A and B are shown apart, each in its own frame.
Chain A
């Protein structure tokens, strides 16, 4: 079988670079590692003030939403650039969950029903979330919640950023519903999460009032998760880049045996391999973002490919960073553990590399025995 890949633009445009600079300089001011670490141990792990600046001030929650529907009319390419920067700072904001996954899910719902909610999410003043476990791969959702007697019943575990969500999109066998987390019948209980910069929660629906957004939940949910998986590769790229850059900086400064430790080949080769991983991940992530943006290409393949490749790269980059920092890397004080925990959680989030490879096996006709 020969699959002819379409042409995609794998570079960054000037506008995308300008967006990156703006986001990066804001995050440099407001989201340094010490701030993030302190916040993970507070009552409010999410940075709502930062979210307000990113959304109210910069309009980033509406990137995927057309201007006619209250958004910025940008594409997945720009959202990917934002995620690179958010990954680089492990920023505790619900961009991936609200501005990408929930927004993409709503974009796949019939216009009339989703319009108001979509505009609310695009403004950033309302935070949305998709009520499925964060570990769910595109096409693998199971809909544990029932709709009966006009209300929702059931429990979903491991919902990312649910603690800050105002609205949850809830897939059921009877369609996709929107439930307001502030109403009676919805309980959000935080879980002790591996990655405290994207905390999980159990959401319980016990006769929660809800509004139907689509008669069938499967397609909107699959598209939401697909966009999430494809763009998560850009977050993973940002994580890997930070880990590499920080480790290179450290190994140039750290002296042992009367030499910078970065002059030892044993370390140099490991860092050079990390760099190669980053170069490849950037191409895979851009490919996925462009495929999602243009829609003309093959977003299923591109998103699965990007996750299958980028997830282990981010984990490896963080693990290498920890090891090459030596003892300091093992301390609570040093930020590398924030990146390790985020990278490891991301390698499960939206499907493991193995699940994405299984999807690819079908897409490119390399079937299992």
Chain B
């Protein structure tokens, strides 16, 4: 049994064998992975020790105190939050051994090739085709909203392998090598001026069958693991009071009394209350997870977070008055990191508009809450038992 004391001991052993001051960053991260201290709830040999997930905090605290480098989780969020748990759940031993170590260290960045121009909220309607050719699959299609595609070595990909089946049943999940000559990544410029996302064109991309994840035709089920983990990772963060979007508004209010009006004051207080309650709700959710009592509350976190970010950043632009008429920089760039609260108020306002679209639109998430949490009946469906090729698209 690996308990907190044992993890503390192992972490100190790691630090003793690989002193932070004299060990190169990637080498340290590799040693940490090999010691099973990367993600302690993963199995031995794959960066973990099969310990309870909640004990990761013990390791992280020791390493932070020692000034050890981290794996820059913001840069490799899709790998850590979505690809890794899916590979762990559905991958072959060979896939897990080959892929998880460089993923966690950050040597290999991952992106997600799910959404398509014709398959957004209705992701299962996707049309990218994968056709079997000997030991390979030949993939053709177009993906969109792909962050990190320009830095990624790998992409998690879902494609249609049987158009004659109803849409949820003809999909297969692949691991796509982004260096394949048939993969073309084009920046997709957004309303903020920058290109945080990409369009990915797949033309005759050859994926070996050994890079398939899960059985043929089971891709929708495999993708559920990916999407579920996306929502868990969004809910799991711990935020200090006045962390996040409310911070710059509260600061401006305190430092610049000349901007204050009564109307703005009322709205600021209302949003401050909502942001603080959302923070406490997140903390309660975290306590539930630590106590081993996960509830459905997590499904709602992103909904509240999206609305609050939008309203707060909108208030901030208005509070700034004349300055709110300006924008820091419209130059087209391709940022490596996404920071919703980074840059200035105008950017925050525009970027927050995406919060209610990315990772599931708020409208779809409300349906999910209504149906899965409250048990309300589904809308009548016309697409469930029809072959994908016969759907109106």
Taking Cβ atoms with an 8 Å cutoff, the residues of A that contact B are 1-5, 9-11, 248, 251-252, 259-260, 262-265, 267-269, 271-273, 275-276, 279-284, 286-287, 305, 308-309, 354, 357-358, 360-361, 364-369
A2 and B363 alpha carbons, distance in the complex (Å): 34
Asked whether B376 lies within 8 Å of A309 as measured between CB atoms, the reply is no
Known contacts A11-B287, A276-B369, A369-B261; decide if A4 and B240 are in contact (CB<8 Å): yes
Kindly specify which of B268-276, B323-331, B350-358 makes contact with the partner chain. Answer: B268-276
- Of all chain A residues, the one with the shortest Cβ separation from B264 is A369
A358 and B291 alpha carbons, distance in the complex (Å): 36
Apart from A265-B367, A268-B371, A368-B265: 17 A-B pairs, beta carbons within 8 A: A11-B287, A262-B376, A262-B377, A263-B379, A267-B376, A268-B376, A269-B363, A269-B366, A269-B367, A272-B374, A276-B369, A284-B277, A358-B269, A361-B265, A366-B269, A367-B260, A369-B262
Could you show 15 A-B contacts with beta carbons less than 8 Å apart?
A: A2-B240, A2-B242, A259-B377, A269-B366, A269-B367, A272-B367, A275-B369, A279-B281, A284-B277, A305-B277, A308-B273, A309-B277, A366-B268, A366-B272, A368-B260
From B240, B297, B363, B380, name the one whose CB has the most chain A CB atoms within 10 angstroms.
B297
Known contacts A279-B300, A366-B250; decide if A361 and B269 are in contact (CB<8 Å): yes
| Contact with B284, one of A4, A10, A251 (Cβ below 8 angstroms) | A10
What is the total number of residues of chain B having a CB less than 8 Å from a CB of chain A?
47
Known contacts A3-B242, A272-B366, A369-B265; decide if A10 and B374 are in contact (CB<8 Å): no
Asked whether B376 lies within 8 Å of A271 as measured between CB atoms, the reply is yes
- Of all chain A residues, the one with the shortest Cβ separation from B293 is A11
Asked whether A263 lies within 8 Å of B377 as measured between CB atoms, the reply is yes
Is B254 engaged at the interface, CB distance under 8 Å to the other chain? yes
A11 and B274 alpha carbons, distance in the complex (Å): 20
A237 and B240 alpha carbons, distance in the complex (Å): 25
Distance (whole angstroms) from the CB of A16 to the closest CB of chain B: 13
Please name the 4 residue pairs, one residue from A and one from B, whose CB atoms are nearest each other, closest first.
A268-B370, A369-B260, A10-B284, A272-B369
Distance (whole angstroms) from the CB of A97 to the closest CB of chain B: 26
- Of all chain B residues, the one with the shortest Cβ separation from A9 is B287
Main secondary structure of the interface of A (DSSP, over half): helix
| Contact with A268, one of B260, B266, B367 (Cβ below 8 angstroms) | B367
- Of all chain A residues, the one with the shortest Cβ separation from B263 is A369
Asked whether B284 lies within 8 Å of A283 as measured between CB atoms, the reply is yes
Asked whether A5 lies within 8 Å of B240 as measured between CB atoms, the reply is yes
| Contact with A269, one of B276, B278, B304, B370 (Cβ below 8 angstroms) | B370
Is B22 engaged at the interface, CB distance under 8 Å to the other chain? no
| Contact with A11, one of B280, B291, B367 (Cβ below 8 angstroms) | B291
| Contact with B366, one of A1, A5, A268, A365 (Cβ below 8 angstroms) | A268
Is B253 engaged at the interface, CB distance under 8 Å to the other chain? yes
Residues from chain B with a CB closer than 8 A to the CB of A2 are 240-242
Is B4 engaged at the interface, CB distance under 8 Å to the other chain? no
Distance (whole angstroms) from the CB of A246 to the closest CB of chain B: 12
| Contact with A271, one of B269, B280, B283, B374 (Cβ below 8 angstroms) | B374
Asked whether A252 lies within 8 Å of B281 as measured between CB atoms, the reply is no
Residues from chain B with a CB closer than 8 A to the CB of A1 are 242, 250, 254
Residues from chain B with a CB closer than 8 A to the CB of A248 are 374-376
A5 and B270 alpha carbons, distance in the complex (Å): 19
Residues from chain B with a CB closer than 8 A to the CB of A283 are 277, 280-281, 283-284
From A3, A263, A358, name the one whose CB has the most chain B CB atoms within 10 angstroms.
A263
- Of all chain B residues, the one with the shortest Cβ separation from A263 is B377
Asked whether A265 lies within 8 Å of B240 as measured between CB atoms, the reply is no
Is B373 engaged at the interface, CB distance under 8 Å to the other chain? yes
Is B303 engaged at the interface, CB distance under 8 Å to the other chain? yes
Distance (whole angstroms) from the CB of B54 to the closest CB of chain A: 14
Residues from chain A with a CB closer than 8 A to the CB of B268 are 366
Asked whether A286 lies within 8 Å of B250 as measured between CB atoms, the reply is no
A102 and B391 alpha carbons, distance in the complex (Å): 67
Is B378 engaged at the interface, CB distance under 8 Å to the other chain? yes
- Of all chain A residues, the one with the shortest Cβ separation from B377 is A263
Is B233 engaged at the interface, CB distance under 8 Å to the other chain? no
A292 and B170 alpha carbons, distance in the complex (Å): 56
A347 and B110 alpha carbons, distance in the complex (Å): 50
Asked whether B374 lies within 8 Å of A11 as measured between CB atoms, the reply is no
A280 and B285 alpha carbons, distance in the complex (Å): 10
Residues from chain B with a CB closer than 8 A to the CB of A365 are 254
A364 and B253 alpha carbons, distance in the complex (Å): 12
Distance (whole angstroms) from the CB of A361 to the closest CB of chain B: 6
Is B288 engaged at the interface, CB distance under 8 Å to the other chain? yes
A264 and B367 alpha carbons, distance in the complex (Å): 10
From B250, B268, B287, B370, name the one whose CB has the most chain A CB atoms within 10 angstroms.
B370
Distance (whole angstroms) from the CB of A36 to the closest CB of chain B: 26
A248 and B376 alpha carbons, distance in the complex (Å): 7
Known contacts A273-B366, A275-B369; decide if A252 and B269 are in contact (CB<8 Å): no
Asked whether A305 lies within 8 Å of B276 as measured between CB atoms, the reply is yes
A356 and B310 alpha carbons, distance in the complex (Å): 24
